[in-house]
C-alpha cells in the first residue's frame, strides 16, 4: 500500500472524519463555556469537537494527537512503526507546491478588523499566565530566505498581540536573533488546523534549510499545497483553518510570559519572551480552532521525530536496529531506548551515536530480545546486563533544554542557553557472557492444564 493510500485525507476536516470513523473523536453539541474547554479535553479518552462554544461563533477541537494510536491513524501506519515511518519521510521528502489560492484565505481581516478576542482561546491550566494558543504551526524564513516551520506557544496579550515562547534553541530563534542584530522584526505566520503530517513535521527539529513541509508531503505521499500570505513574504498550508500573519517585534526578550503547563507535565515558570504583533488574520468561512492539550499531545508529537533520529543515527553507525522508543515518562524527549542485534563493541557505539541527539539526558541500549515498551523488561536488562563501572557513560556540558528544572535555567542571564549532562547505559549482554544465562524461565505444562478447571 502506498503512503497516499494510507492517507485518504488532505486537511484537518478530513482528519476529523477519519478519527470519527475509528471511534477516536466525539462531538459535543451542548453549549460549553470557553473556560471549560481544556477541562473537558483533559477528561476525554478521545478527541473532542466542541461545536457550540458559548459567546463564540467558532467551534474548538482538541485531542487529535492525544494518543500514540491517534498519531498513527493520522499518519496511516502502525503504532510500533511510527519512528521508521517518519524516518522514511525524512529520507524521501516531497517538495511543497505554492498554489494560487486556498480555503485558508476565504476571509481576510487586516488593521482594525483584527480582534483576537473573537477566538475562543482556551485557558488551559489553573496557574497559567493567561489564555494560550498552542496548536499553531509557526512559519518564518532565515537570512538566506529558507523556510522554517515549528511549534511555539502564543500567550494572549491584547486583541492584536501575543507573546511567543522563543527560549529554547531553534532555527526560528536564531533567525530572530539575526533579525535583532539588523534591528528588524522577523516576519511570522502561524497556521492553525492542518492534518497530522504538517503538525508532526513542524514539531521535528529539522536541520537548517530542511523544509518541514517537504517531510509532511512525504507522509501524505503528495506535495503539500501552500498559499502565499497576504501581508508577509511567507507561505502557509493552503487548507489551514486559520492563519495569523505579522511579525515578532524588535524589542527582544523583554515581556513576562507564562506561567504555562508545558509538555513536561510541570507548571513552568515565568519567562522573558518577545511579542508577536498580528497584522492580518485569514481563515475559512466557518473555521474550527484547533487546540493542543498538554502534556500528552505535545509529547506524542515529539516521539516519532526523536525515534526517527535514533534510527538514522544508528543506521549511520552501521548498527542493526530492532526498535527505538521515546519514553512517555520523559515527555518523549529526554530518554530514548534502543534495542539492537549487537556485534562486539556495538553497545557502546550505539550509545555514543544516540547520546549526541537533541537534549537527551538518558540513553539505554539493549539487545533485540528486550521489549522496549515493557518497563519490567527494560529494568531487568539494566539490573542483570549492566556493570555501572563498565557500562555507564556520562558526559558534561552538552546542549540542554531549559524546561528541565535541574538545569536552573531561571538563574541564567536573559537569552542564555543552558547545558546538560548526559548518561548512557549499555544494557546489552556483555560480550564474554553466554546469552543462555539470560534465558527467561518457563513454567511447565502451561498448555495442558487450566487453574479454573481445578477451582
| Catalytic residue positions, numbered | 262
Parallel, antiparallel or unpaired: strands 289-291 and 60-62 = parallel
Q: How would you label 180-210 residue by residue, b for 16+ Cβ within 10 Å and e otherwise? A: beeeebbbbbbbbbbbbbbbbbbbbbbeeeb
- In whole angstroms, give the CA distance from residue 186 to residue 172: 9
Closest CA to 241 of 24, 13, 76, 448: 13
Instruction: Identify the residue whose cell numbers are 503512503.
Output: 3
Q: What are phi and psi of 103, to 5 degrees?
A: -65, -20
Set of cell numbers at residue 343: 556485534
For residue 95, give Cα distances in angstroms to 74, 106, 140, 166, 317.
20, 25, 17, 27, 28
Terminal Cα-to-Cα distance of the chain (whole angstroms)? 49
∠ at Cα 147 (146, 151), nearest 5°? 140
Closest CA to 136 of 206, 78, 74, 198: 198
Amino acid at each position: 500500500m502506498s503512503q497516499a493510500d494510507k492517507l485518504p485525507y488532505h486537511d484537518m476536516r478530513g482528519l476529523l472524519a477519519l478519527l470519527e470513523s475509528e471511534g477516536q473523536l466525539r462531538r459535543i453539541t451542548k453549549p460549553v463555556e470557553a473556560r471549560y474547554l481544556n477541562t473537558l479535553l483533559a477528561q476525554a479518552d478521545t478527541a473532542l469537537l466542541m461545536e457550540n462554544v458559548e459567546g463564540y461563533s467558532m467551534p474548538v477541537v482538541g485531542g487529535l494527537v492525544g494518543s500514540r494510536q491517534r498519531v498513527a491513524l493520522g499518519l496511516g501506519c502502525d503504532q510500533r512503526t511510527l519512528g521508521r515511518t517518519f524516518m522514511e519521510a525524512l529520507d524521501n521528502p516531497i517538495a511543497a507546491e505554492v498554489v494560487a489560492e486556498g480555503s485558508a484565505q476565504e476571509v481576510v481581516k487586516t488593521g482594525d478588523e483584527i480582534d483576537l478576542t473573537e477566538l475562543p482561546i482556551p485557558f488551559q491550566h489553573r496557574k497559567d499566565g493567561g489564555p494560550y494558543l498552542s496548536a499553531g504551526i509557526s512559519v518564518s524564513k532565515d537570512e538566506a530566505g529558507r523556510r522554517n516551520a515549528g511549534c511555539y506557544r502564543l500567550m494572549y496579550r491584547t486583541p492584536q498581540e501575543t507573546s511567543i515562547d522563543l527560549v529554547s534553541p531553534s532555527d526560528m530563534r536564531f533567525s530572530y536573533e539575526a533579525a535583532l542584530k539588523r534591528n528588524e522584526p522577523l516576519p511570522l505566520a502561524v497556521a492553525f488546523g492542518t492534518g497530522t503530517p504538517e503538525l508532526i513535521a513542524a514539531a521535528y527539529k529539522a536541520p537548517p534549510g530542511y523544509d518541514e513541509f517537504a517531510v509532511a508531503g512525504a507522509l501524505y505521499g503528495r506535495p503539500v499545497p501552500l498559499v502565499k500570505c497576504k501581508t508577509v513574504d511567507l507561505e502557509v498550508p493552503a487548507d489551514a483553518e486559520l492563519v495569523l500573519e505579522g511579525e515578532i517585534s524588535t524589542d527582544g526578550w523583554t515581556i513576562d510570559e507564562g506561567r504555562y503547563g508545558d509538555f513536561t507535565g510541570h507548571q513552568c515558570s515565568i519567562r522573558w519572551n518577545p511579542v508577536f504583533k498580528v497584522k492580518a488574520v485569514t481563515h475559512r468561512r466557518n473555521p474550527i480552532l484547533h487546540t493542543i492539550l498538554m502534556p500528552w499531545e505535545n509529547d506524542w508529537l515529539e516521539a516519532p521525530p526523536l525515534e526517527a533520529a535514533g534510527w538514522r543515527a544508528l543506521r549511520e553507525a552501521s548498527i542493526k536496529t530492532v526498535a527505538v522508543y521515546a519514553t512517555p515518562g520523559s515527555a518523549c524527549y529526554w530518554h530514548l531506548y534502543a534495542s539492537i542485534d549487537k556485534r562486539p563493541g556495538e553497545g557502546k557505539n550505539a550509545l555514543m551515536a544516540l547520546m549526541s541527539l537533541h537534549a537527551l539526558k538518558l540513553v539505554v541500549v539493549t539487545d533485540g530480545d528486550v521489549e522496549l515498551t515493557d518497563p519490567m523488561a527494560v529494568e531487568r536488562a539494566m539490573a542483570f546486563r549492566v556493570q555501572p563501572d563498565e557500562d555507564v557513560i556520562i558526559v558534561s556540558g552538552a546542549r540542554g533544554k531549559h524546561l528541565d528544572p535541574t538545569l536552573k535555567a531561571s538563574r541564567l542571564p536573559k537569552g542564555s542557553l543552558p547545558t546538560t549532562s548526559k548518561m548512557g547505559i549499555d544494557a546489552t549482554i556483555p560480550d564474554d557472557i553466554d546469552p543462555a544465562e539470560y534465558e527467561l524461565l518457563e513454567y511447565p505444562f502451561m498448555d495442558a492444564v487450566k487453574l479454573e478447571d481445578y477451582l
